[in-house]
Amino acid sequence: MRSWAEFAAEAPGLEAFGRRRLERRIAYLATIRADGSPRVHPVSPFIGMGCLAIYMEPTSLKVADLRRDARYALHCTVEDNEGGGGEFYITGQAEEITDPTRRSAAVGWAAAAGYTAAERHVFFEFKLGHVLATTYDNGPKRERWRANR
């Protein structure tokens, strides 16, 4: 797994596309329920100091899912049936941010993206294992990146 910063260093063009598709937008987070079935949640990801992160209510089912099984998939929203501005999809593992210094920094990253996190919120950093970007300008064009190359 790689951080967003490591991904950016290895694939700057793909990172810029992903940033445009995720920042200040709704995305869909898939987690794994205790019974092994998938669960999908709308989330507002943000990027700060080389980290892709989200925060959520401590009672959210996605918190329990990620604490039990850190695997996730994240997909940006698409504006229309023609693919809009393109698709950006990530799979990887989430790491809860519990260190007080990093947690304070994450509150700042969220604020810079226009979000107001509260003390009660739980923060996760999303480490990247696989990225897939699809654009539809002249037919589908796909670009992939993997952490374990």
C-alpha 122/C-alpha 55 separation (Å) is 5
pLDDT computed for residue 115 by the predictor: 96
Please state, in angstroms and rounded to a whole number, the distance separating the CA atoms of residues 64 and 72: 13
Read off the amino acid at residue 53.
A
Print the SS3 string covering the chain: CECHHHHHHHCHHHHHHHHHHHCCCCEEEEEECCCCCEEEEEECCEEECCEEEEEECCCCHHHHHHHHCCEEEEEECCCCCCCCCCEEEEEEEEEECCCHHHHHHHHHHHHHCCCCCCCCCEEEEEEEEEEEEEECECECEEEEEECCC
Assigned token pair, 127: 């480490």
Query: What is the tens place of the pLDDT at every residue in 77-130?
Result: 999 988 889 999 999 999 999 999 999 999 999 999 999 999 999 999 999 999
Residue 23 scores a pLDDT above 70? yes
**What does the pLDDT read at residue 6?**
98
pLDDT band at 27 (very low <50, low <70, confident <90, very high): very high
| Homologous superfamily of domain range 4-146 | Electron Transport, Fmn-binding Protein; Chain A (2.30.110.10)
CA distance 92 to 75: 12
Query: What are the pLDDT digits (tens) for 29-81?
Result: 999 999 999 999 999 999 999 999 999 999 999 999 999 999 999 999 999 98
pTM (2 d.p.): 0.94
| pLDDT at site 136 | 93
pLDDT at 149: 61
